[in-house]
Amino acid sequence: MGVPEKFRAFRIHGEGGHRAGIEQVGIDDLSPGEVVVRAEWSSINYKDALAGTGEGKILRRFPLVGGIDVAGHVVASTDPRLREGDPVLCTGSGLSETRDGGYSEYVRLPAEWTIPLPAGLGLREAMVLGTAGFTAGLSLLRMEANGQTPAMGPVVVTGATGGVSMLAIDILTRAGYEAHAITGKFDQLDFLTRLGAKQVLDRRDMHWGQRPLETALWAGAIDSVGGDTLAGLSRAIQPYGNIAACGLAGGHVLNTTVMPFIIRGVSILGIASAGTPRPQREQVWERLAGPWKPAHLDAICTREATLDALGEVFPTMLAGDSFGRTVVRI
């Protein structure tokens, strides 16, 4: 199947003021790459909403096609590892930041960042996961590489109704861990319990204390909040437990002491999903398609949008009025 001369893409401009919308583009308008993919699905992340509305400085050059995630079928490739017809996915890797992203009927990608779709995972499922699920999976991969095991005890997930955290609860449960959740949306207790959380705590009731070391409550944590929450967690993790730090919804400044690290051996692991090397990417996706595959993807995906609807969905997400994952049918 060839590539049409023109096709639709959601393109973002910055010169002379922000503007974004559907445009007709050609393959030579896109960033270079060894693989051309007919896109079928993408997703909407908070970062996509910031880029698409111009509310955040996400793009490093203009114009660019938006969308940090994409999944589809290869239509052309100069890399022998990827053949025409192969189902593939790509998340992060500079999409909608330094190169054209996934909100396009056709996408050109570097072969190095194009991952064959693992057996056991559909293209739509891959985008329900997307960067959010990859981040949650990478968090657990790094924790286990640093010694985390289910036998150590429960792992707590903060910001529990966010996309990364919902998927983290489901993934942890599938991997044999006891997952606990901290949320500011306590009305979603039943939903979080359905995902697998054995204990759900209201963020407003959390008092982290001021001592360098507080009572150790959990064996580990996946934290998408940062700020005071991450500092508090560091004081409440059991000896040799791990905290995967993957977000900053609550702030980017960390005020803590070295005591948890040199007395209890607690580790804070930085989760930089966008630039993850390929070997780890493949490991995470193999697990997400197999033993760690979330059992509740249909419930976590609460909305399906089209390219034309992106401009309506972005403001809703930025206003905090969205819930669950949104996939984009290309």
Q: Find all residues with CB under 8 Å of 316, minimum gap 6, and list them.
A: 322
pTM of the model: 0.97
Match domain 7-117+296-329 to its CATH number in 3.90.180.10, 3.20.20.60, 1.10.357.10, 3.20.20.70: 3.90.180.10
Task: State the CATH architecture for 132-273.
Answer: 3-Layer(aba) Sandwich (3.40)
| Domain ranges for the chain | 7-117+296-329, 132-273
Nearest to 264 by CA among 239, 244, 231, 242: 239
Per the prediction, the chain carries an average pLDDT of 96
pLDDT in tens, 169-195: 999 999 999 999 999 999 999 999 999
pLDDT of residue 321: 83
By residue count, the chain amounts to: 330
What mean pLDDT comes out for the span 82-100?
A: 97
Span 214-231, mean pLDDT? 97
Contact 146, 120 (CB under 8 A): no
Q: Which of 321, 326, 329 is nearest to 302 (CA)?
A: 326
Q: What pLDDT, on the 0 to 100 scale, is given for residue 1?
A: 64
Query: Is the pLDDT assigned to residue 228 strictly greater than 70?
Result: yes
Q: With contact defined as beta carbons under 8 Å apart, do 100 and 303 qualify? A: no
pLDDT tens figures, 315-330: 999 998 889 999 999 9
Is 80 exceeded by the pLDDT of residue 243? Answer: yes
Residue 265 pLDDT > 70: yes
120 token code pair: 């056991």
